[in-house]
Amino acid sequence: MLVVSVPAFAVWPLQDGDGNQLPSLAPMLEKINPAVVNISTFATRQQMNPLLNDPFFRHFFGPNQRAPQMKRSQSAGSGVIVDAADGTVITNFHVIDGADEIKVSLNDGRTFDAKLVGSDPDVDIAILKIEANGLHEVKMADSDATRVGDFVVAIGNPFGLGQTVTTGVVSAIGRTGLGIEGYENFIQTDASINPGNSGGALVNLNGELVGINTAIIAPAGGNVGIGFAIPTNMARHSLEQILEHGEVKRGQLGVVIQDLTPDLAEAFGLEGTQGVVVSEVQDGSAADKAGIKQGDVITEFDGKEMRTAAQLRNAV
């Protein structure tokens, strides 16, 4: 009998069927689930009878109509505890946008009022704080190390049903140009993400947070296996600035930039097509003072290769 040893590439714990442990994410999730929270938001808005906007209606019934009614609305989302000692919760800005009351519910049944510390609408990040003991947190991974094909797990509160876990892989990284946020550098995944998952966790098989689930592409209104998460490195930048300054401050180069297309590369006599073309430089700007000129091609920033204009914008 010939026995051949081959390297094992699968990450799942394969076992036999003779009573030994079967593949399961349960041990990892038992540690992570307590740090993923459900967020309920409440908002009070004025609601007027649309007929009052009709001049014909007002002519017959007079201007003295009932005052606008106040309507109380509720919506649901998800969040992740990233600092148990301080009760710091990270979520999406659109989850809490316009809310006048925010409540955070843990998977142990406890519910707390949350305070909005600050937000970064351009990245769709908001930071909350709760006063509670016995919290759990998720470690934030270096999302730059995430690769296409990595297994990931999405945890959130879809449709307000309660904590739900779905699995998938990283389908793509560095997704931009979607028009969803001001700054985009999304992780794309086929893990099922639905309304209510926003602000929830995207974790790797080590139980480390690699992204904050934020959006889906759903032409028919349901999940089609195309979801997006904000990388933790981008979310961490917003988190640190909000905790330190109460807001996010960004640098400005003072340039108008665009991707280096094949036509532009040929015009500049360049072999590659990866880089960022400077179309305009503002007088007196940081770029102007640094000697950057119109027509320059930026290929590296802070030691990192720059392939697209969106990547440079995010780096700055």
Structure tokens at 305: 């290769």
Q: Which residue has the tokens 């550098």?
A: 185
Contact 12, 78 (CB under 8 A): no
Domains along the sequence of the chain with CATH = 143-245 (2.40.10.10), 255-315 (2.30.42.10)
The pLDDT assigned to 3 comes to 46
The pLDDT assigned to 103 comes to 97
* Cα distance between residue 254 and residue 284, in whole Å: 8
Q: Calculate the CA dihedral of residues 106, 108, 111, 116 and round it to 10 degrees.
A: -20
Structure tokens at 185: 């550098």
Which helix (H) or strand (E) covers residue 265, if one does?
A: helix 262-268
* Cα distance between residue 220 and residue 179, in whole Å: 19
Distances (CA, A) of 125 to 118, 143, 201, 235: 9, 16, 13, 7
Which helix (H) or strand (E) covers residue 115, if one does?
A: strand 115-120
pTM of the model: 0.77
The pLDDT assigned to 195 comes to 84
Structure tokens at 165: 């876990």
Enumerate the active-site residues. 94, 124, 198
Distances (CA, A) of 312 to 56, 61, 106: 55, 59, 38
The pLDDT assigned to 143 comes to 95
* Cα distance between residue 238 and residue 304, in whole Å: 20
Q: Average pLDDT for consecutive 10-residue bins of the chain (316 residues)?
A: 46 56 86 96 76 63 61 89 97 94 95 96 96 96 96 92 93 84 87 90 96 81 80 96 89 78 76 79 79 82 76 71
Contact 155, 36 (CB under 8 A): yes
Angle at 121 between CA 120 and CA 125, to 5 degrees: 55
Helix (H, G, I), strand (E, B) or coil at 212: strand
